[in-house]
Every structure is written in C-alpha cells, then in structure tokens.
Amino acid sequence: MPPKPHRILLDRVSGYADEAAAYMRRRRVARRPFARLYYPNGRSADHASDSTSGAELFVAAGRLIEVAGKKAKQ
C-alpha cells in the first residue's frame, strides 16, 4: 500500500526541521568560547568559559598573551 500523500509531506517537513535544528546546535556549539586542554597521552578536555576551570584558563591565557605581546614590542 503506498503512503498517503500528507504523510510524505509531513516526513519531508520533519526532515527539514531536524536538519535545521542540527545546524543551529552546531552553530551554537561552534560560537561559544571554550578552552581545550591537550594531554600527553592524546586525551583532550573542553572547558566552557562560564565554568570555574574555564574562567581560570581564560585568565591564564590572557596573561600569556600580554607577556608575549610585551616581549615582541621590545
């Protein structure tokens, strides 16, 4: 028995909505600032900027950038 025409349209619209939702999730994830640490064994860990460890990493990174910028100007 062939599918009913309204089911085909509903499935197509649902598929487009799923793709749009996935795109928005990827975009939000890609645009949030985070710090990624790499460990010697190949493992990595992401820390969001609003977490305690992430905030500490952002402060440390900012200090490193300041120090590197001062040495380059001399």
35, 47 Cβ separation under 8 angstroms:
yes
Residues 1-58: tens digit of each pLDDT:
666 666 777 777 788 888 888 887 777 656 678 888 899 988 999 888 889 998 999 9
Burial (CB count <10 Å: 0-12, 13-18, 19+), residue 63: exposed
pLDDT of residue 14: 82
